[in-house]
Amino acid sequence: MLREKRAFILIVIVSLLVISGCLNQRPTGDQQPTGSPVPPAIPTATAVPTPAPGTNVEILNVPATAAPGKAFAAVWRVNSPDERNIQHTAVHYGPQPESEPLTLTSYPNLTPVQSGTIPANFTTFIIINSTGNMYFRAHAIIEGVNYWSSEKIIVVSSLPTITVTAIPNRVVENTNYSIRWNVSGGTAGDISKTDLIWDFKKGNASVSDYSRYTPSMTGRTPMEFSQTLRAPQSGTIYFRVHAVVDGIEIFSDEKQIIIYPEYTSGY
């Protein structure tokens, strides 16, 4: 009996030891020990270059108007309180106005990039083949900072021209004859004056070279004009058409008409 009791007590002790060992086992497999979460990394701020006092870009000289296909000069200055070398300055331009903030692709067109020591003036030549308003700025990159001039506008339009469209083949003295011409081009196309100037001798493209003229007319390009004159005595007359378009004085090529005597037969 005593032996059986000892065996029972031994079994109970072993069972308790086994249960205690299972409860104290460490996690295995995919289980991970718990702990405090790791905070995400905080990004550091990137330093943005700021414009330096006394450093700027300004346009010094550009025409208000230009003709398509004709080169014109643009002059700008890059100012700096200290002498520095730069690798990029140019004129950016396009058919639409652009406001700040600007990027290097804000304008679709760019003149050849220049480099040099500033402060200094820079010059480039631009050819625009289309007509209309063109907007542009001078630009420079100085120590990683973009500097832009104020925006300028240039009007690209055809130069005003005069075309003589009709001259009589034969004119007899003391008879009426007509000359027709067309005035075209210009920016606004305002024809403030157009007339015929003529004389019995050749002349240059100047009003003072001709002693006679017809009454002046006005209009807006493109426009055709006609003037009727009374033929003088027989001889040769020389004439030009004269006009003022948008304040610009222009002349046609010199033409000539032979005035025949009244008694001449033929034709």
Residues 148, 166 share a domain: no
- Assess whether 205 and 146 both reside in one domain: no
Q: Is residue 174 part of a domain?
A: yes
Which three-class secondary structure state does DSSP give residue 186? coil
pLDDT of residue 39: 44
For residue 88, how many other CB atoms are within 10 A of its CB? 13
Q: What is the mean pLDDT of the chain?
A: 86
Q: pTM score, two decimals?
A: 0.56
Predicted local distance difference test score (pLDDT) of residue 50: 73
Domain final position from 156, 181, 200 = 156
Band of pLDDT at residue 263, cut at 50, 70 and 90: confident
pLDDT band, residue 181 (cuts 50/70/90)? very high
Is residue 50 assigned to a domain? no
Q: How far apart are CA 62 and CA 133, in angstroms?
A: 14
Q: How far is CA 85 from CA 80, 113, 129, in A?
A: 10, 14, 34
CATH number at residue 231: 2.60.40.10
Q: Rounded to whole angstroms, how far apart are CA atoms 115 and 120?
A: 10
pLDDT at res. 9 = 60
Helices (H) and strands (E) in the chain, counts: 1, 20
28-42, 74-88, 221-235: segment of lowest average pLDDT: 28-42
Choose the final residue of a domain: 156, 177, 201: 156
Q: Give a yes or no: residue 176 inside a domain.
A: yes
**Does 64 reside within a domain?**
yes
Query: What CA–CA distance (Å, rounded) separates 161 from 264?
Result: 37
Domain check: are 199 and 133 in the same one? Answer: no
DSSP letter, residue 40? P
Q: Which domain holds residue 177?
A: 161-260
| Alpha carbons 111 and 124: distance in angstroms, whole number | 7
Residue 41 scores a pLDDT above 70: no
In the predicted model, what is the mean pLDDT of residues 109-124? 97
Query: What residues contact residue 50 under an 8 Å CB cut-off, 6+ apart?
Result: 145
Nearest to 197 by CA among 245, 238, 253: 238
Q: What is the CA radius of gyration of the chain?
A: 45
Is the pLDDT at 48 greater than 70, yes or no?
Answer: no
How many domains is the chain built from? 2
Whether 64 and 137 map to the same domain: the answer is yes
> Would you state the pLDDT for residue 21?
53
Claim to verify: residue 166 and residue 219 sit in the same structural domain: yes
> Where does a domain end: 156, 174, 207?
156
60 domain-assigned: yes
- Same domain? For 176 and 92 the reply is no
Question: Does residue 192 register a pLDDT over 50?
Answer: yes
201/254 same-domain check: yes
